[in-house]
C-alpha cells in the first residue's frame, strides 16, 4: 500500500471548505490586541491567550528590539552547547524566584516543554496518572517516556484514587494535570491531588500554561492559588500566553532541574530560545511583578463577561478562569456560528471532537486584562444577536 494513501483519502477538510465553513488559519493583518484586523474584518479578539495584554506593550517590544541589536537573531545551537546566553540564565533565576522554586530551565516551546519534562522524568516501569482533559502535549510526552499511562475521568478524585490503588508499590508515579484547563476554563482540584499523591507516594506536576499570570498571588499560578507551592514538585508553563512571547519553562528543585537539563532529549537536541523571545518574556515578567493589578483586572473582566452572557441568555459553561465556553453541541453548528460571528465583528475559537466529546462542541472565548467593559458590552451584544438570528442554511455556501 502507498504510504500516502491516507493523504489522498483525507477529504474532511475539503468537505468543510466546500460548505464554506472552514474555521482555521484566518490571517491577521494587525498585531494581537483587544481588537484586530482579520481577513478584512475589524473584530473584537475573543480567541487569544494574550491574557495580560502584553503582546502590544511598548516595553516588551523595545526589549525584544534591544536583544536583537545586542545578540542577533538566533543562538545557532542548543543550550547544551553554544546556545546559552546570559539573558537565558538571568531570566531562569528570576522566574524561579517569582515562583518560589529552587531552579528553572526554559524550552523552545510549551509543547516541547511537556515532551522534555515528562520523557526525562518518567521511564519504563514508571506510571503516569493524568486527567483525561490534559493538553495534547502531555499525552505526547507520556508516549515519549515509555511509562505506563493511566487516565482518570476529568477532575474525578475517586477515579484518580482508583488508578493510584492499581499501581504496584515498587513503581515510580507521576500525577500530571493542567492547572487551568484550556478548553473548559476550570481549575484542577489540586488540594485533593496533593493529598492523594502523599498517600500513594506519587510526585505531582502541574501544567500552568493557562494559569501563569492568571490565578494565584500576583499571577503565580495554580500551586500558589491553593497555597501548595511546596507540595507541587514540578511547575510547567509557557511564554506564549501571559508573557507575550514564545517558549516554555520547568520550575522544580535543584536536583530535578539538573537531571532534566542533562537527560531530556527535547532540551538537549533543540536550539535555544532566540534572544528577542527570551528578552520579551523577561520584560513581560518584570511588568507582571510590577503591576500585579493586571491579574485582578483580568479576572474582573472575565467575571463581567460571565455575568453579562448569562444575563443575555447565552448558554455558557461554568468556568473560573478568563476562558468562557459557549455551548454549541454540534460540530457543524459550531463552525457556522464562528463564521457568522467573524462576519459580525467577533473572533472566537471553535472546539469540536475529538478535542471535546462528540455532541459537546463549544465556542471557546478568552479574555485579556486590557479588554474594556465597553468593548465587551458590544461583543456580548453581537454574540447574543448572532446566536438568536442564527440559521445554518443561511451560512452554508455563502
- Predicted local distance difference test score (pLDDT) of residue 224: 98
How deeply is 263 buried, as exposed, middle or buried, from its count of CB atoms within 10 A (0-12, 13-18, 19+)?
middle
Among this protein's residues, is 78 annotated catalytic? Answer: no
Task: Single out the residue of 305, 313, 307 nearest to residue 366, CA to CA.
Answer: 305
Q: Is 210 a catalytic residue?
A: yes
Task: Tell me the C-alpha distance between 115 and 124, whole Å.
Answer: 16
What's the pLDDT at 393? 61
Active-site residue, selected from the candidate residues 119, 137, 145, 182: 182
C-alpha cell at 77: 545551537
Domain layout of the chain by residue ranges: 5-51+293-395, 58-290
pLDDT at 392: 60
CA-based R_g, the chain, Å: 22
Choose the catalytic residue: 88, 135, 210, 371.
Answer: 210
Q: Nearest CA to 284 among 50, 3, 41?
A: 50
pLDDT at position 207? 98
Active-site choice (241, 283, 339, 371): 241
Residues 212, 242 contacting (CB under 8 angstroms): yes
- Indicate if 241 belongs to the active site: yes
Q: Across-strand partners of 362?
A: 327, 351
Which CATH number does 58-290 carry? 3.40.640.10
Tens-level pLDDT at each residue, the chain (398 residues): 899 999 999 998 998 888 888 999 999 999 999 999 998 889 999 999 999 999 999 999 999 999 999 999 999 999 999 999 999 999 999 999 999 999 999 999 999 999 999 999 999 999 999 999 999 999 999 999 999 999 999 999 999 999 999 999 999 999 999 999 999 999 999 999 999 999 999 999 999 999 999 999 999 999 999 999 999 999 999 999 999 999 999 999 999 999 999 999 999 999 999 999 999 999 999 999 999 999 999 999 999 999 999 999 999 999 999 999 999 999 999 999 999 999 999 999 999 988 888 899 999 999 999 999 999 999 999 999 999 998 766 655 55
CATH number of the structural domain 5-51+293-395: 3.90.1150.10
Residues 6+ apart with CB under 8 A from 34: 44, 45, 53, 368, 370, 371, 372, 375
CA distance 234 to 29: 38
Give residue 391's pLDDT: 74
pLDDT at 247 (0 to 100):
97
Amino acid at each position: 500500500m502507498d504510504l500516502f494513501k491516507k493523504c489522498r483519502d483525507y477529504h474532511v477538510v475539503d468537505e468543510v471548505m466546500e460548505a464554506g465553513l472552514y474555521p482555521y488559519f484566518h490571517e491577521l493583518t494587525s498585531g494581537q490586541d483587544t481588537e484586530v484586523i482579520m481577513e478584512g474584518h475589524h473584530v473584537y479578539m475573543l480567541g487569544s491567550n494574550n491574557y495580560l495584554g502584553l503582546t502590544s506593550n511598548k516595553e516588551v517590544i523595545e526589549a525584544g528590539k534591544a536583544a536583537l541589536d545586542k545578540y542577533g537573531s538566533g543562538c545557532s545551537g542548543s543550550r547544551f552547547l553554544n546556545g546559552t546566553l546570559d539573558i537565558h540564565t538571568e531570566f531562569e533565576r528570576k522566574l524561579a524566584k517569582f515562583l518560589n522554586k529552587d531552579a528553572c530551565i526554559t524550552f523552545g516551546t510549551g509543547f516541547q516543554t511537556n515532551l522534555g519534562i515528562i520523557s526525562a522524568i518518567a521511564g519504563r516501569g514508571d506510571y503516569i496518572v493524568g486527567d483525561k482533559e490534559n493538553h495534547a502535549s502531555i499525552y505526547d510526552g507520556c508516549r515519549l517516556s515509555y511509562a505506563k499511562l493511566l487516565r482518570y475521568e476529568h477532575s474525578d478524585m475517586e477515579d484518580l484514587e482508583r488508578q493510584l490503588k492499581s499501581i504496584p508499590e515498587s513503581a515510580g508515579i507521576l500525577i500530571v494535570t493542567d492547572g487551568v484547563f484550556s478548553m473548559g476554563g476550570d481549575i484542577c482540584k489540586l488540594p485533593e491531588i496533593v493529598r492523594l499523591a502523599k498517600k500513594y507516594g506519587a510526585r505531582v506536576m502541574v501544567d500552568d500554561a493557562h494559569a501563569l499570570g492568571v490565578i494565584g498571588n500576583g499571577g503565580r499560578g495554580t500551586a500558589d492559588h491553593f497555597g501548595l507551592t511546596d507540595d507541587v514538585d514540578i511547575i510547567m508553563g509557557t511564554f506564549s500566553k501571559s508573557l507575550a512571547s514564545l517558549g516554555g519553562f520547568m520550575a522544580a528543585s535543584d536536583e530535578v532541574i539538573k537531571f532534566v537539563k542533562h537527560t531530556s532529549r527535547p532540551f538537549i537536541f533543540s536550539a535555544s530560545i532566540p534572544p528577542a523571545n527570551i528578552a520579551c518574556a523577561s520584560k513581560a515578567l518584570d511588568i507582571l511583578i510590577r503591576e500585579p493589578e493586571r491579574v485582578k483586572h483580568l479576572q474582573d473582566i472575565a467575571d463581567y463577561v460571565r455575568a453579562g452572557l448569562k444575563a443575555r441568555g447565552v448558554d455558557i459553561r461554568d468556568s473560573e478562569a478568563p476562558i468562557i465556553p459557549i455551548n454549541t453541541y454540534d460540530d457543524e453548528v459550531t463552525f457556522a456560528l464562528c463564521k457568522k460571528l467573524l462576519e459580525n465583528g467577533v473572533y472566537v475559537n471553535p472546539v469540536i471532537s475529538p478535542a471535546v466529546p462528540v455532541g459537546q462542541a463549544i465556542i471557546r472565548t478568552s479574555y485579556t486584562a486590557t479588554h474594556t467593559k465597553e468593548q465587551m458590552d458590544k461583543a456580548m451584544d453581537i454574540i447574543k444577536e448572532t446566536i438568536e438570528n442564527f440559521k445554518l442554511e443561511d451560512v452554508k455556501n455563502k
